Structure 1
């Protein structure tokens, strides 16, 4: 079901187009409509989850189809429409969060048919692009705002964004989000037991991200995300941060990679709590050709009651692929990791080892291995296999996950 906000956005887009028809009449308007860009993204995936608890092992075989069309521009205006559909192939022996099979472990890929993107764009202002409606928003490394592209139903946002590049080497992204279309689909509706099961997160949330790439040392980014949830006041936070990412040559064919980031998060708007917690990220690496090794440390502070959260992030990309820490524990999280990647005969190989500890009290939560093999085929196809194994010490339970997938993008 299309949300009220999305319906309003689509209605506005169509109304503006119709109002402009007299000016659009002629070959130029026809060219904008017929000369657009269609897109198709198909992904089959098998996922298996086994946990050391009372839940049954879960197995999901799913096929996701995403199809869209973006018109060309006329007098700066354009329209993008994109739909998604997921089908379960065979028996759905897993808890999709909407199929009521709660005896199984969760694999958050429910069956759905939804509008993924539907927005009106305008680029008639110098060095500026505006989008209004349902859209994909990906900022920096997606630690705070991302599309959760790993799940079959990606996360998109209803709102307004403005991207400006008028200043040298600078990109300013400003926006206002009034709904997050989460991976659990529109079928996951209140009343539910927890925030994590809701498919839509209504909010009034200004966002700002400023990136400057003119410094020789690397890209520096400053950001502020003011998340004001309509239905979950305890999740409303304001986050302000600074990020530096760069590299430098240290030998022939070899680069030193480095990233440093700090952010502070506190209660916002109607959040009844009164607190402030910090985030820190440090990563260093060496890269030579297709070979890379990285050592990193990420801190999400917790005080025993509240902890640093990133609910709009592409969370699967952080703190292990087993997804144990999608919500930061109240005692916080310290993630020290070592990763390596290479390629052989066009096959990409990745391995990461994580050691997780509490910020408050330093209890050892557990350790995790992540392994992945992917193979691009031509430019439109990709196949892969992925494995995550979490070994619990004092937090959660032993968890093993396996994925096999193939995708095609046009």
Structure 2
């Protein structure tokens, strides 16, 4: 009840501070997005990972709604529904455990319902909303999955000082990708929503060489399930990201980030661990080369859990990181080091269509401690913008385990996707 009153009070305060709306016409913007996807998963490994057959999922996702705005005020409402046309897969909550997981359960929900006050120096958003911070390594909308992750939150973005942005969010609930069937069939660690008192704070400053960001993420997963409470953490860190033109057709890009994480709130585990990321990219005309390193460290002296505990990012858009086969959505207790290199090529136009982008990425996964080589992964993708509304994608991921299974879910895994997206 207190959280509901807080949101209501924040809404009233934002309206009071804004003053009367400008004398402008009411504007309506419709929202229509659709995605048809085929995903297949071939996974082999020791019991209980060995599946009787491959997973095959054909799913259709539709989002529809609209935004009404007048002056600096706007109200947005958006519904989301996912339908499984081929159900031969384990959605994570449908009980079909003989198949590998394809985390796109059937679902119908209110995806976003928000009130917003927006001016050039200040944006205040209250309600169920999409939140993507920086590269989404810590907080994101999980846009790759059919069901989006949104947050019941109050978010304040202030840009009143040149080159400076202050972005602070207080979220009382994360609406997960597991949808209305979350928690069914014994999947208690896959709930429809995760309640808590979460604070996401970013302060960024733009310089000629790039953007420097300091951040603090306080995650409080206030749930009875121990596996969820273990995700409660406090993370403090910084990142620097920028690009430097070397000539008309050559550009160097760079990223460096460091963070320290420890237990927070009701987490029964006592631990602390480091996060490190570094990446260099070189754009040469239509080609781009990328190389990087990411560490999610492990604390071997963690108390309250056997075998150590590692750096976790439960609200991230995890599919973007550590390989598209999604083998490291939960960081193993021994941590992970991800060495990766990639290349892409862009064709600006193919007739009236374009751009077409072809990319390839290689990952080598090692543990942070105990010198374990988990495995290697090869990822490839081709995307095509067909016209202003339609786009297409084909994608492949091949994870090859090395030696014995080193963590829960460690198995040779091959995934293939084909999809069409429509946006109004």
User: Is 1:207 equivalent to 2:200 in the alignment?
Assistant: yes
User: Is 1:278 equivalent to 2:274 in the alignment?
Assistant: yes
Partners in 1 of 2:159 and 2:177 — Cα distance?
A: 31
User: Is 1:148 equivalent to 2:163 in the alignment?
Assistant: no
Q: 2:232 aligns with which of 230, 236, 247?
A: 236
User: Is 1:120 equivalent to 2:76 in the alignment?
Assistant: no
Per-residue deviation, residues 161-197 of structure 1 (Å, max 9, x unmatched) = 00000111111110101111111113213784552x2
SS at match of 2:81: strand
- CA drift at 1:247: 1.3
The 5 Å alignment of 1:30-45 reads 31-32=25-26, 35-45=27-37
User: Is 1:404 equivalent to 2:399 in the alignment?
Assistant: no
- CA drift at 1:303: 2.5
SS at match of 1:186: helix
Q: Please name the residue that 1:326 is paired with.
A: 329
CA contact (8 A) 1:143 1:315 kept: yes
Q: Please name the residue that 2:105 is paired with.
A: 110
Partners in 1 of 2:4 and 2:143 — Cα distance?
A: 21
SS at match of 1:272: coil
Q: Which stretches in structure 2 are left out of the alignment for 5+ residues?
A: 301-307
- CA drift at 1:302: 1.0
User: Is 1:314 equivalent to 2:317 in the alignment?
Assistant: yes
Q: Please name the residue that 1:264 is paired with.
A: 260
Q: Please name the residue that 1:57 is paired with.
A: 54
Partners in 1 of 2:145 and 2:4 — Cα distance?
A: 22
- CA drift at 1:251: 3.5
SS at match of 1:323: coil
- CA drift at 1:355: 0.2
Q: 1:98 aligns with which of 93, 96, 107?
A: 93
Tell me whether 270-279 or 45-54 shows the greater mean CA deviation: 270-279
Partners in 2 of 1:209 and 1:260 — Cα distance?
A: 16
- CA drift at 1:39: 1.3
- CA drift at 1:10: 9.6
The 5 Å alignment of 1:325-404 reads 325-344=328-347, 345=350, 346-393=355-402, 394=404, 395=406, 396-404=410-418
Structure 1 residue runs of 4 or more that deviate by more than 4 Å after TM superposition:
4-14
- Structure 1 residues 175 and 397 mapped into 2: Cα distance closer, same or farther (>3 Å)? same
- CA drift at 1:240: 0.5
Partners in 2 of 1:77 and 1:150 — Cα distance?
A: 30
- Structure 1 residues 5 and 104 mapped into 2: Cα distance closer, same or farther (>3 Å)? farther
CA contact (8 A) 2:254 2:279 kept: yes
- CA drift at 1:234: 2.1
CA contact (8 A) 1:10 1:119 kept: no
SS at match of 1:148: coil
Q: Which stretches in structure 1 are left out of the alignment for 5+ residues?
A: none
Per-residue deviation, residues 213-245 of structure 1 (Å, max 9, x unmatched) = 1x1221111100001111143221000110001
- CA drift at 1:272: 2.6
The 5 Å alignment of 1:64-213 reads 64-74=61-71, 76-89=72-85, 91-123=86-118, 127-189=121-183, 192-193=186-187, 195=189, 197-213=190-206
- CA drift at 1:399: 0.1
TM-score (norm 1): 0.90
Partners in 1 of 2:101 and 2:9 — Cα distance?
A: 36
Partners in 2 of 1:9 and 1:83 — Cα distance?
A: 21
Q: Please name the residue that 1:293 is paired with.
A: 289
- CA drift at 1:286: 0.6
Partners in 1 of 2:128 and 2:113 — Cα distance?
A: 5
CA RMSD of aligned residues (A): 2.6
Matched residue pairs, number? Answer: 393
SS at match of 2:400: strand
- CA drift at 1:117: 0.3
CA contact (8 A) 2:237 2:259 kept: yes
